[in-house]
């Protein structure tokens, strides 16, 4: 029996957008991102990159995959070279670039993810978990993609490693101005980074909108196995008790501000 993994997905992503893609396991988000660089072809429908169907010409697949960089889960498992520097050079070398250009790209990519010269000659296996993962992301960046897709880049990291990665991604988005698509289970992480959220459920887009719009619908998120950030529930609880607070608060700073305004007379 054929199973429909993605159903009637209509979606536009604009230049420079930072997208958060969320959904529980099996919702179709990994299947969707594998379509974006033609690892999987749609059964019906099409995917346009800069207006052109990416599956129209098989001989162009290499270019498509260079333009749409995909960072898989646990990307550090794909590090294999003797040194960090060589590992990052691997992709551009296969593009047949000049050695000057390769060197320039590798150094820029490493700098963008916050890895300095002191790690260039280290073995990737000597690095910490967060550093390894940033080295793996640099390898994709060195291909100079226009779209960068990251599948759960913080899975398995400790809070410090997580913050390192997220800060590197944020900085990278700001500096390069490319489209970044972040697949994540963590609503807290998505809340503080992205411009727009796409929520997947059973192969369809359940809802899309700014973090404010999406996290304002905590009940709907729960009904599909997700949750809003913790502070959203504080606001909902307060509203139920009759307090006039906004429902769409989802970061620590915003919640502090709202509660301070509410409580300052008590000081």
Phi, psi values for residue 145, rounded to 5°: -75, 160
- Which of 9, 39, 238, 247 is close enough to bind other proteins by CB under 8 A? 238
- Which of 91, 107, 225, 248 is close enough to bind other proteins by CB under 8 A? 225
Which residues have C-beta within 8 Å of that of residue 112, sequence separation ≥ 6? 138, 141, 168, 171, 172, 175, 176
**Of 32-40, 86-94, 195-203, 224-232: span binding other proteins (CB under 8 A):** 224-232
Strand duo 52-53 + 48-49: pairing = antiparallel
Q: Is 264 in the site for other proteins (CB under 8 A)?
A: yes
Contact by Cβ (8 Å): 113, 176: no
DSSP per residue, 179-195: EEEEE-S-HHHHHHH-S
Q: Is 211 in the site for other proteins (CB under 8 A)?
A: no
Q: Is 5 in the site for other proteins (CB under 8 A)?
A: no
Alpha carbon distance 169, 193 (integer Å): 9
Q: Is 92 in the site for other proteins (CB under 8 A)?
A: no
Contact by Cβ (8 Å): 183, 152: yes
- Which of 196, 234, 247, 248 is close enough to bind other proteins by CB under 8 A? 234
Alpha carbon distance 154, 142 (integer Å): 20
Residues β-bridged to residue 20? 182, 197
Q: Tell which phi-psi region holds residue 10, choosing left (phi > 0), alpha (psi between -120 and 50) or beta.
A: beta
Q: Is 212 in the site for other proteins (CB under 8 A)?
A: no
- Which of 170, 185, 196, 212 is close enough to bind other proteins by CB under 8 A? 185
Q: Is 123 in the site for other proteins (CB under 8 A)?
A: yes
CB closer to other proteins, 61 vs 220: 220
- Which of 126, 167, 174, 223 is close enough to bind other proteins by CB under 8 A? 126
Residues β-bridged to residue 148? 69, 180
CB of 86 to other proteins, least distance (A): 14
Binding mask of the shown chain, residues 144 to 183, with x at each position contacting other proteins by CB under 8 A: -----------xxxxxxx----------------------
Residues in contact with other proteins by CB under 8 A are 24-26, 123, 126, 128-129, 155-161, 185, 188, 225-227, 229-231, 233-234, 237-238, 241, 243, 252, 255-256, 259-260, 262-267
């Amino acid at each position: 029996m054929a199973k429909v993994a993605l159903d009637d997905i209509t979606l536009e992503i604009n230049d420079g957008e930072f997208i958060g893609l969320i959904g529980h396991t099996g919702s179709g988000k990994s299947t969707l991102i594998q379509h974006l660089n033609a690892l999987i072809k749609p059964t019906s429908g099409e995917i346009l990159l800069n207006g052109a169907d990416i599956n129209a010409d098989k001989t162009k697949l290499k270019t498509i995959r260079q333009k749409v960089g995909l960072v898989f889960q646990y990307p550090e498992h794909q590090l294999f070279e003797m040194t960090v520097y060589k590992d990052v050079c691997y992709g551009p070398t296969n593009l047949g670039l000049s050695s000057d250009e390769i060197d320039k790209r590798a150094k820029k990519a490493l700098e963008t993810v916050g890895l300095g010269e002191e790690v260039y000659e280290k073995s990737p296996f000597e690095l910490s978990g967060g550093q390894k993962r940033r080295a793996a992301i640099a390898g994709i960046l060195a291909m100079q993609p226009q779209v960068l897709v990251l599948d759960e880049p913080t899975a398995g990291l400790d809070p410090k490693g997580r913050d390192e990665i997220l800060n590197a991604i944020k900085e990278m988005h700001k500096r390069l101005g490319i489209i970044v698509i972040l697949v994540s289970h963590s609503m807290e992480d998505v809340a503080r980074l992205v411009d727009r959220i796409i929520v997947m459920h059973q192969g369809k887009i359940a809802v899309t909108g700014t973090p404010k719009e999406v996290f304002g619908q905590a009940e709907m998120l729960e009904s599909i196995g997700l949750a809003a950030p913790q502070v959203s529930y504080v606001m909902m609880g307060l509203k139920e008790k009759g307090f006039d607070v906004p429902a769409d608060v989802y970061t620590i700073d915003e919640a502090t501000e709202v509660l301070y305004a509410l409580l300052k007379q008590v000081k």
